[in-house]
Amino acid sequence: MEPTIHVKGKIALITGAAMGIGAATAKVLARNGATVIVADISDEAGQATADQIVKEGGAAEYISLDVTSEEQWKQVISTVVEHHGGLDILVNNAGIIKHTKLLDLSLKEWRLVNSVNMEGVFLGTKYAVETMRPDGTSGRGGSIINLSSVGGNIGAPDMSSYCASKGGVRNFTKAVAVECGAYGYNVRVNSVHPGNCLTEMFKQEFEEMVENGEAESIDGAMKFYMDMQVLPDMGTPEDMGAAILFLASDASKFVTGAEFHIDGGLLAK
């Protein structure tokens, strides 16, 4: 029997879910049967995302989470398990980007980017595995999807801190996938690598390119990025959500330690 791609009856925690890829993923998982916990530090936007899911007939709630705080991670996962009986899916989506030349990059800025992008993923993964493993408080296994980036595979000017953090997520994911298999934890761990995606962060990048004289218009800035890839359109947050849905579902039960490049063929060129 062919596997069906759905997440019915599963409990999913998604970080950075107030907007962008996180919000789109929350909506996709909810439409496909999951109870979604929308986690973010942007309380108003996060609550709005959860409310919209509920309005559309899905199951969702908002919870405040600073992914750089170990204590908050412990509390949030404990609360989710207590209120919902378990945790089946974790999407480590929260992330930030800084465009700074290496010679202008401060240690403080470096640590900020890595604390969110890398350490936040470490903390979430650690405490999710702890609760998902057979002797954990959830104990029924699960799927963890870590958001890396094409920047985790290749370099880019003025983005050393970002590329380093996303490269860390890439290899961390593989190491944890192998470890979970070695210890029989029944937890799959995979990474998703978005390419050019029409998020608010990317739209801001277009505007900055025009302001800095790097492009004559928003369309020109968009063309600059689209010329990097194979397919003729920019990706959307929903495209990323669709890939995450597959990795969260039992249809991907034989997939772990993999990296999914959702990039319009950018890394193929």
* Catalytic positions, written as ranges: 162
Compute the distance between CA of residue 100 and CA of residue 159 in angstroms, rounded to an integer.
6
Q: Which amino acid is at 107?
A: L
Residue linked to tokens 């973010």: 40
Compute the distance between CA of residue 144 and CA of residue 162 in angstroms, rounded to an integer.
21
Q: Where are the beta strands (DSSP E) in the chain?
A: 11-15, 35-40, 59-64, 89-92, 142-147, 187-194, 259-262
Residue 264 has which token pair? 């319009």
Q: What are phi and psi of 148, to 5 degrees?
A: -100, -135
* Degrees to nearest 5, angle at CA 261 with 188 and 91: 40
Spatial neighbors of 229 by CB under 8 A, at least 6 apart, are 195, 196, 263, 264, 265, 266, 269
Q: Report whether 227 contacts 219 (CB < 8 A).
A: no
* 3-state helix vs strand vs coil in the chain, percent to 5: 50, 15, 35
Residue 246 has which token pair? 């597959």
